[in-house]
Amino acid sequence: MSERGGMVATGALTLGAAIVGAVANFAIAVVVGRSYGAADTGVFFAVIGAFLVAGSALRCGADTGLTRSMSRLRALDRQADLVPTAVVAVVPVAVAGLLVAVTVWAVSGRVGAALGGADSVAPDLVHDVALFVPLLSLLTVVTAGTRGLGRVAPYALLQHVALPMTRLAGVGAAAALGAGIVVAAGWWAWGLPVVTTAAAVIFVREIRRAAPPGPPSWDRWRELAVEFWTFSLPRAVCAIVEIVLEWLDVMWVAVLAGQEAAGIYAVATRLVKVALIVDQAVRVTMSTRISAWLAVGEVAKVQRLYEVGTTAMVSLVWPFVIVLGCFPDTAMGMFGKDFPAGSALLLVLCVGMAVLAAAGSIQSILLLGGLSSRQLVNKSVALVTFVSLGMVLIPRWGALGGALTWAGTVLVDTALAAWAVQTRIGVRLTTRVAARVGPTVVLCVAPVAVAIRFTVGNNLAGMATAALLGLLVLAVVMRRDVRDGLFEMR
């Protein structure tokens, strides 16, 4: 298969797997929201948010470091360093994860009280999920290493299919049996040991295939450790800031506006962030090539690939947010009777997601270009922006204020990343893609969605019909545009 064909196949597999994962995560939000109400939903997602923050922190940046290192070492013909680099990456993550997990489990009452109050179920939730945290970190690290070796399928299938489906099965079983939210949280995590074991076995197999025959040489392990962790440790702090940004919104809304507002906000953000499956597919498909090309100075190829990925993101993300924007109350109503009140904040989140898609995978280029320290600065500024705006907007407007805060933070973070990538790497964030593709998407999807809303109705059938017909019209127009060269990146 040609390189281009391989990219198409990889992209299709990754996107398909990401769609399955997004549907599963969306279904989890629906099941929790409809089964346990807004208040318990807010507590559930606050604890799960803390769980993911801990998992991200305990990766210590080794996931991105391994993806970058595996691809760079192969591009620079340093295959003999693959196994030692993997060891100096994985062992510290495993040790740190175990120590922290045992500590959190021992003081789960205090941690839970800080997250949801001593009188809530949060302490019990923390107690049941704490020991699973290191497994989440290891899973992410070893699948990232496998991806750096050019094997995307295990990453896509384990991270985006197997793990979300085990979580959905656990939460769904708890809700069907009438179990409480504490049981649901524990069963949410039950699949991690199985999936992590499978990922570790695959990583060991792939790295043995890529490394030279015979036992590895450990003469340079200290040098390799310094090389690896000099990049990864700044990324570790940055990853913590990123995941805090991702989940702080829910916790911040809970603190400043109450658990019910946090529950509404949580399901709205998860609904909109379904669109990020496209970004995940683009990043996974292109990250290995971007890292290798940057290692040998092929900036023009990276620019071209970045524009192709941005075209895909605008073409696929904008139709999704347009349909949501035309049916906000219907979309929120899927989660239960408590949630249509979040229609206005859903509109704000849709606008923010459209801007994010128009910027493409600029964050990945910043990181794969070795600028982990610069990304840490950017994310820290974004975190300060979120906290500051949130203190002003959330107490006044509740969940809607949280949505406005998130959108403003996205703009700041994207602008900082674009400036750094252009000045330090030479890849430009261009408005050419959005200006060329965006109007076509809007003109194909928006009129169809509006017409369907007023004919079929403002209901699930209408929303589904609008999405289907809008995408059909867009596909026909884009096919003709591609044939005429409209989307050709000259």
Q: What pLDDT score was predicted for residue 9? A: 65
For residue 59, the SS3 value is coil
Structural contact between residues 123 and 112, judged by C-beta atoms closer than 8 angstroms: yes
**Residue 94 CB partners (closer than 8 Å, separation 6+):** 134, 138
Range list of β-strands (E), 313-354 = none
Between 302 and 6, name the one with better pLDDT: 302
Is the four-CA dihedral 61, 63, 68, 73 of positive or negative sign? Answer: positive
The percentage of residues in the chain with a pLDDT greater than 90, rounded to a whole number, is 17
Q: What pLDDT score was predicted for residue 8? A: 58
Per-residue exposure over 463-475, b if at least 16 CB sit within 10 Å of its own CB, e if not: bebbbebbbebbe
Of 27-36, 178-187, 479-488, minimum mean pLDDT range: 479-488
Residue 68 to residue 234: CA distance in whole angstroms: 14
Please compute the mean of the pLDDT values over residues 244-253 and round it to a whole number. Answer: 75
Q: Which two tokens stand for residue 469?
A: 């017909």
Residue 453 to residue 431: CA distance in whole angstroms: 31
Give the chain's mean pLDDT: 83
Largest alpha-carbon pair distance within the chain?
72
Residue 197 pLDDT exceeds 90: yes
Residue 237 to residue 55: CA distance in whole angstroms: 12
Between 54 and 87, name the one with better pLDDT: 87
Residue 482 pLDDT exceeds 50: no
Residue 247 to residue 235: CA distance in whole angstroms: 18
Alpha carbon separation from 328 to 22, 66, 113, 127, 444 (Å, rounded):
19, 40, 34, 36, 19
Of 18-27, 181-190, 198-207, 285-294, minimum mean pLDDT range: 285-294
Q: Which of 33-47, 159-173, 259-273 has the highest mean pLDDT?
A: 159-173
Q: What pLDDT score was predicted for residue 36? A: 82
Q: What pLDDT score was predicted for residue 477? A: 81
Q: What pLDDT score was predicted for residue 243? A: 67
Residue 96 to residue 43: CA distance in whole angstroms: 27
Please compute the mean of the pLDDT values over residues 72-87 and round it to a whole number. Answer: 86
Q: What phi, psi does 398 have (nearest 5°)?
A: 65, -135
End-to-end CA distance of the chain: 25
Please compute the mean of the pLDDT values over residues 152-173 and round it to a whole number. Answer: 88
pLDDT tens sequence across 344-355: 889 999 999 999
pLDDT tens sequence across 356-398: 898 888 888 887 777 777 877 888 898 899 889 999 999 988 8
Q: What pLDDT score was predicted for residue 327? A: 92
pLDDT tens sequence across 415-456: 998 898 888 888 887 777 788 888 989 999 999 999 999 888
Q: Which of 142-146, 151-155, 291-295 has the highest mean pLDDT?
A: 142-146
Amino acid at 318: W
The percentage of residues in the chain with a pLDDT greater than 70, rounded to a whole number, is 93
Q: What pLDDT score was predicted for residue 53? A: 77
Q: Could you tell me the pLDDT band of residue 2, with boundaries at 50, 70 and 90? A: very low
Residue 6 pLDDT exceeds 60: no
Residue 260 to residue 253: CA distance in whole angstroms: 9
Nearest to residue 39, comparing CAs of 107, 95, 116, 101?
Answer: 116
| Residue whose token pair is 């913590």 | 240
Q: Which two tokens stand for residue 62?
A: 């080794």
Amino acid at 388: S
Q: Could you tell me the pLDDT band of residue 169, with boundaries at 50, 70 and 90? A: very high
For residue 183, the SS3 value is helix
Q: What phi, psi does 371 have (nearest 5°)?
A: -95, 50
Alpha carbon separation from 287 to 38, 283, 452 (Å, rounded):
38, 5, 39
Alpha carbon separation from 56 to 9, 52, 132, 159, 237 (Å, rounded):
29, 6, 13, 14, 9
Q: DSSP state, 213?
A: S
